[in-house]
Chain A
Amino acid sequence: MTRYSLATKVRRAARLRRPRVSAWKRGEYLAAALFIAPGLIWFLGFMLYPLVYSFWMSLHDWKIRGPSEFVGLANYARVFTDNINLIALRNTIVYALLSVPAQIVLGLLIALGLEQVSRGKVVLRLIYYLPVISSWVVVSLMFMFLFNSEGLFNYVFGDILGLVNPNTAWLNRASTALPVIALLGVWKGMGWSMLIYLAALQSIPAELTEAARVDGANRGQVTRFVTVPLLKPTTLFIAVMLTIGAFQSFIQFYIMTGGGPVHQTEVFLSYMYTQAFNFLDFGYASAIAWVLAVLILAISLMQFRLIKSTYEY
């Protein structure tokens, strides 16, 4: 009894003498496991497993009921031969080209402007940001109505100004629907790039712009030759994010045109959704999604490489 308690005492003394760090280091793995477990299990079960499953599906002629037939890369071959994917690619590129640069330029201009004003900055920023936080469904409905053949746009630019045919149904043809949807994209998205630019502007040391001013540069020159070049990494980052976003557009197309008429305004995800949930061709739809994922990955890697090579300033 006595001996036992002596041993305990010795052990306790030893433990006390050791640095505290290792005392909780031993429980480290257990604690970490407890902290990680809920999120990790959730993630593995409902995200990683579906991810792998999705790839598996893309290799099959997937049947909702009954056994699915393994077809290898046939679905992928079909992605590259299906003309509608070519239309989707064209539409996606047009949409990205129409919407991404405009969002960058306008976002930058607004941010530079907001940096200059002292009063009303918060309110102005709020208004420019409102479309960003509004739901895609609501803003898509708004633009559908504005560009309806009897909508405000036709009234102002057709009936009053005589610039367009006042009966144009803008969303009924790819050549007019894409610019309208891109306009919606710009209107909804430029508040986001404005906000990122504002944050970046705050991190530019005031000494740099002040030094340029002391050297005799005027306000425009400072902006043009000091501020904007310093924002280059931010610009590239915004370009990457917006391009990724443009390639993933879905809701605005789904609601405003549904990819129609006859697939003319289809983008990848609207076509994928139709293949999956209208035609129940899950294998083919999964293949489209994977091709898009790889395409997006390639584009972002390319752009990130560009960032790396131009980052030093």
Chain B
Amino acid sequence: MSTESPTPSSGSTDSRPRRRRLPTWRLLVYIGLGLGVLVMMIPFLYTISTALKSNAFVFTPEFFPRNPTLENFQTAWNSNNFQRYFLNSLKVATLSSLLTVVVATTQAYAFARMQFPGKNLIFNTYLITMMIPGMLFIIPQFLQARELGLLNSHLGLIVFYVVGSIPFQTFLLRGFFESIPRAVEEAAYVDGAGRFTTFARVVLPLAGPAVGTSMIFSFLGNWDEFTWALTIINDTSLRTLPIALRLFQGQHASQWGLVFAASLIAIVPVIIVFIIFQRSFVKGVAAGGVKG
């Protein structure tokens, strides 16, 4: 986009330095985007503000708390097993995303580079299941988990989180492997490397960023997962953060400051992960989205 050129009417005086003043249209764009950002931030800011209010003032609507206090954050962090929920979420999300990535990466590579009977059939089955609402699986999977004794356990969360992300992650990573020039691998084969050596030593290092992105995606998805955890976890001590927050709100219906302090602690890791990996994340969304 020719963002640098001035407005058409000033075309004749093009020779003077362009950066002297902000063109009106650009100023307007900044104002519009700024206002938008403000509106977008209101719910977050008000949440922070509420979390900083002591309980007596939660329903006083002012935006800036009169006597801000960190009391809610301390209480939330130290109460109701909160630290345990945090660790539960960390454990489940980390293990699930690791397993997903291992399984999806090897599979995606085979779909991208190898020939075998049934290849298209399997891959198309993956694509079709991606179009089926995830909630359809919740009932049969619940009964299956009950049969296998996986109810009320973290293993039950992990097994089904992994399978839930396999089709999409395989699809995403296959697209990536296909974009690597074949010549790289052919060079390795000519040098006498086998399938597995080539994959491990040549392809995987190249795929690092893509595999990382895929792992972040599935980590964030599992960190936030609510419905399946709500359905199979009964024990208080096994809860993950999303269901803990929901039940927390149920128990402390009027203690919104506490609920929001806990919520903010829960979304901080997500925001940090996102800020650190922003670039590859944005690329991943674009790739997954555009190919769809």
Contacts and interface: CB of A to CB of B under 8 A. Distances in A.
B81 interface: no
B291 to A, nearest CB: 10
A29 interface: yes
A196 interface: yes
A293 B163 contact: no
Given A35-B114, A110-B36, A128-B37, A199 B289 contact: yes
A24 B196 CA distance: 11
B138 A135 contact: no
Instruction: Report the contact-size class of chain A (Cβ under 8 Å from the partner).
Output: 35 or more
A195 interface: yes
Contact of B116 (A29, A53, A113, A286): A29
B70 interface: no
B8 interface: yes
A250 B116 CA distance: 39
B33 A206 contact: no
A200 B111 CA distance: 27
Contacts of A134: 267, 270
Interface in B3-32: 3, 5, 7-8, 25-26, 29-30, 32
A109 B129 CA distance: 33
Given A133-B220, A134-B267, A219 B110 contact: no
B286 A296 contact: no
Contacts of B40: 127-128, 130-131, 187
A27 B114 CA distance: 11
B260 A51 contact: no
Nearest to A214: B2
B119 to A, nearest CB: 8
Interface stretch (A39-47, A81-89, A96-104): A39-47
Contacts of B50: 145
A183 to B, nearest CB: 10
Given A40-B107, A134-B270, A293 B285 contact: no
A51 to B, nearest CB: 7
Contacts of A143: 43
A76 to B, nearest CB: 14
Contacts of B278: 122, 126
A187 B126 CA distance: 31
Contacts of A7: none
A50 B189 contact: no
B43 A187 contact: yes
Contact of A48 (B44, B125, B245): B125
B271 interface: yes
A43 B285 contact: no
Nearest to B244: A137
9 contacts: A32-B115, A38-B106, A48-B125, A51-B132, A51-B137, A115-B3, A145-B50, A206-B1, A251-B227
Interface of B: 1-3, 5, 7-8, 25-26, 29-30, 32-33, 36-37, 40-41, 43-44, 46-47, 50, 59, 61, 63, 102-104, 106-107, 109-111, 114-117, 119, 122, 125-126, 129, 131-144, 159-160, 162-164, 166-167, 170, 189-190, 194-196, 199, 220, 223-224, 226-227, 231, 242-243, 245-246, 249, 256, 259-260, 263, 266-267, 270-271, 274-275, 278, 282, 285-286, 289-290, 292
